[in-house]
Amino acid sequence: MKHEFKGARIEPRKITGTISAADLIGNFFNAYNGARVAEICRLLEKKVLKENVTVGVSLTGALTPAGLGASALVPLIEAGFIDYIVSTGANLYHDIHYGLNLAMHKSSPFVDDVELRKHQLIRIYDIIFDFDVLLQSDKYVADTVGKQEFLRKLSTSELHYLMGKHVNDTEVKLGTQGSTVLGAAYRAGVPVYCPSPGDSTIGMNIAMLNVAGRGDVIIDVVADVNETAAIVLDAMLHGESAVIIFGGGSPKNFLLQTEPQLSEVLNIPVRGHDYFMQITDARPDTGGLSGATPHEAVSWGKVNPELLPNAVVAYVDTTIAMPLMTAYTLAKCQPRKHKRLYDKRGVLLDQLKAKFRENNK
């Protein structure tokens, strides 16, 4: 009986200077949150990154300013390991800096912010950049979303796909190819959603167009709810659904609410996401969403209770975990064919509506 509690024996060996990231995670992350990161990596390798699993990723925190867009997320998108994204608008806005070849700098969290203001420098914890980076990025966003193709009602996936097309063209022009999540998502047909589109500089510039009389970009958040529900329903009908959550907040909830939207609101029976992986530094005992555990998500129907062994939470900084997870999966997993869910949105919505009619006669 006691043997069922025992995993593999811990047999430490010396770490060398030539060890790979994948070997480091696989053989030396034996306990605590290191072990949880290793569990997530093995779950991705053994079960999640298969052809029949649809993978959704949520992004919060200032990840792209730190360079994690180009260094970690773009390679995952290019390898076919991410099928759709839910992000804060801020991550998508700061992502554009790299496509424009605008400089972001390492610094210190202990610099004098009054002096920074005098020198027109902006700080995101220990990242520093010139105020002019914002001005150039704002002009680029305003000029882009002010084009005729944007001046209509559109979901955030359409907004970001069209932006990604222009960002991709800019990358080609400036020689910065592969530096943005938006550009990579456009090329791979990965839909990108933002549940709070007004809560970022992209939304601010869209609002400016209205004030300036340059046209109206109308964001259809209802379309976002239906599109993401349609993606998850299709994953359930034809395979499995996995969620990888970096941080928490609104993107986490928007990614997970697809299940109650289907089962509770639309009355379409579904089982909950099959795989749940979260990187967070938030505590669960405050009742905040960012720290909510997969066990709590079971009570909402967001996670399949029969598959809780496939639910792992690592309490660690995303800037540590994401590069390690990327290095591990690229070393251990074969690239997948891109599902190009953006191109299939119409078909998936038709399927959703048919299932709704079938279950609500």
**DSSP structural state of residue 169:** H
Burial of 134 (0-12, 13-18, 19+ CB in 10 A): middle
Which is the catalytic residue, given 252, 302, 339, 355? 302
* Cα–Cα dist 252/155, whole Å: 18
Question: Is 46 known to be catalytic?
Answer: no
Burial classification of residue 167, based on how many CB atoms lie within 10 Å of its CB (0-12 exposed, 13-18 middle, 19 or more buried): buried
Look at the block and give the residue holding tokens 């979901």. 155
Helix, strand, coil percentages for the chain (3-state, nearest 5): 55, 15, 30
Spatial separation of the C-alpha atoms in residues 151 and 146, rounded to whole Å: 7
Spatial strand order of the sheet with 121-124 comes to 105-106, 127-130, 121-124
Catalytic residue numbers read: 302
